[in-house]
A and B are shown apart, each in its own frame.
Chain A
Amino acid sequence: MEVPEIMGYKREDGSVGIRNHVALIAVDHAGAPVVEGVSKLIRGTEAVSHQYGRLQFGKDLELTFETLIGTGANPNVAAAIVVGIEPNWTGKIAEEIEKRSKKPVRAVHVIRKGTIEAIEETAKHARQLVSWATELQREPCKLSDLIVGTKCGASDTTSGIAANPVIGVVGGKIVDMGGTFIFGETTELAGGEHIIAERFETEEGKKKFLEVFNRYIEFAKSQGADILGSQPTQENIAGGLTTIEEKALGNIQKVPNRPIKGVLDPAEKPPGKGLWFMDTSSSAQEQVTLLAAAGASVHLFSTGQGNTVGHQILPVIKITGNPITATKMSDNIDVDVSRITKGEMSLEEGGEKVFEYMLKVCSGKLTAAEIVRHDNFAITRLYPSM
């Protein structure tokens, strides 16, 4: 199969990026105002800001760190500056980004300096790094060297008819040409988990998937939420969905019908090419953030009613099969495949349309979410802080 070329950035570690940001990464709440301030001062920077990182412990802390490190190491990032309250953790995160991606990384802490001095120090580093990064040129790269993610949000009947199956077509193409495609949303698979389980390449993968899935369902139950019993929702039923199997199958349409290589932990970089499942929540901003941390450089997002999600460094392409959403929310939508919903376009034609658009985005075209600045970096918390 012919692999299309895109104009991307070849990184030191062999990965390919489609953006060239200098990422300003907050380790904690003390780093947040610094990175936000500097992103307004220095062109070419993106603030990755949040309010967590203090008094977390165990697996929850590990996941926060993995998310920050993976975001810095993402191929869409040319260089990173890590800003936190104290030098120890800040330095560790910076070192790990540098180790994994071999890109220029700086660390700045706030204690014994104050916020304004930290802003000055970060801005000076940022000025130098942007000057360096903007000398890097886009060059022909293979689409199959990218990691592509997918998810759906604010779904409706049109998602199952048009936008999700179209993503399935595009995802299949990417896998067939030797690329990498990741899906997640553990809970959204409920009702169709048996279908996904059967698609794993190995027994081990299938077993791990079912373990992850059952753990989620049991956890929800322990919190008094009956994920299975509450599906489909009244809204879904009004829209024509009858059973939980049917709803799950609509979601699953965006997963290409190809063997699944294995289960990735949240934020884990896929160890090889092909189709992968990542254990993620179904919250759009959390899922997109975890995929960015895993090294995804472009994301295909299907929406019916119009989810607006975006991410600072991971371009999210919004696809809708709902003609009203396409018209009323045109500033949030990238690709309109509503002609499928009207019976005027085939899935293959829709797939072609999304694929062509994705190639443009990979070569520099900004997505709707990038233009209107939907910077929705959101850390997945596993449990409360100490």
Chain B
Amino acid sequence: MTSYLRWCVLQKKVYLHNEKDNVAVALEDLEPGDTVVVNRNGVKKEISVKEKIPFGHKIALETIKKDGEVYKYGALIGVATKDIEEGSHVHIHNIKSLKYN
């Protein structure tokens, strides 16, 4: 019961489009200290949220080094312009388009 309650209170929902992705989409506003869980290739991973991430925005599921590729929908959506820590907000401040900029 305790563990169930803990799950209800702390675990927030994110959407993983494709198992190849290294970002997921927040399905509710995420706050520092919240936990999200993703299941990739049969491996469950718990990620602790580092900063505020609004609904619809992306969270890094692992550390992405500067110039590292960012995948969503199983496809390349851009590259990191700086190191991105696991659990942080991924957006215009730390990734850029590869096609046009």
Interface residues in chain A, defined as those with a beta carbon under 8 Å from any beta carbon in chain B: 156-158, 160-161, 165, 191-192, 194-195, 228-229, 237, 239-240, 242-246, 249-250, 252-253, 341-343
Contact = CB atoms under 8 A, between A and B. Distances in A.
B97 interface: yes
Nearest to A158: B56
B30 to A, nearest CB: 12
Contacts, number: 76
Nearest to A257: B74
Contacts of A165: 17
Interface of B: 13-15, 17, 25-27, 54-58, 72-73, 75-78, 90-92, 95-100
B54 A249 contact: no
B99 A242 contact: no
Contact of A240 (B17, B54, B76, B96): B54
Contact of A228 (B13, B17, B100): B100
A242 B80 CA distance: 12
Given A191-B99, A245-B99, A343 B13 contact: yes
A88 B19 CA distance: 60
A244 B100 contact: yes
24 contacts: A156-B56, A160-B73, A161-B27, A194-B99, A240-B25, A240-B55, A240-B91, A242-B58, A242-B77, A242-B90, A242-B92, A242-B97, A243-B95, A243-B96, A243-B98, A243-B99, A245-B98, A245-B99, A249-B77, A250-B73, A252-B73, A253-B73, A342-B13, A343-B15
A157 B69 CA distance: 22
B56 to A, nearest CB: 3
A240 B58 contact: yes
Contacts of A250: 73
B56 A244 contact: no
A250 B75 CA distance: 11
B25 A246 contact: no
Contacts of A341: 15, 27
Given A161-B15, A240-B25, A242-B91, A191 B97 contact: yes
Contacts of A343: 13-15, 27
A158 B55 CA distance: 10
A249 B75 contact: yes
Nearest to B27: A343
Contacts of A195: 75
Nearest to A194: B99
Given A244-B97, A245-B99, A341-B15, 10 more contacts: A161-B56, A165-B17, A237-B92, A242-B58, A242-B77, A242-B90, A242-B91, A243-B96, A341-B27, A342-B13
Given A249-B73, A343-B13, A157 B25 contact: yes
Contacts of A239: 56
Nearest to A162: B15
A158 B27 CA distance: 9
B71 to A, nearest CB: 10
Contacts of A158: 56
B59 to A, nearest CB: 10
A246 B100 contact: no
Contacts of B72: 246, 249
Contacts of B13: 342-343
A245 B77 contact: yes
A245 B99 CA distance: 8
A1 B14 CA distance: 33
A156 B78 CA distance: 20
Contacts of B95: 242-243
A320 B77 CA distance: 24
Contacts of A240: 25-26, 54-58, 91
B80 to A, nearest CB: 11
A245 B56 contact: no
Nearest to A249: B73
Nearest to B89: A240
Nearest to A157: B56
A232 B25 CA distance: 17
A327 B67 CA distance: 43
A243 B57 contact: no
Nearest to A237: B92
A161 B23 CA distance: 13
Given A157-B25, A342-B27, A243 B78 contact: yes
A243 B90 CA distance: 11
A195 B72 CA distance: 13
B60 to A, nearest CB: 12
A191 B75 CA distance: 12
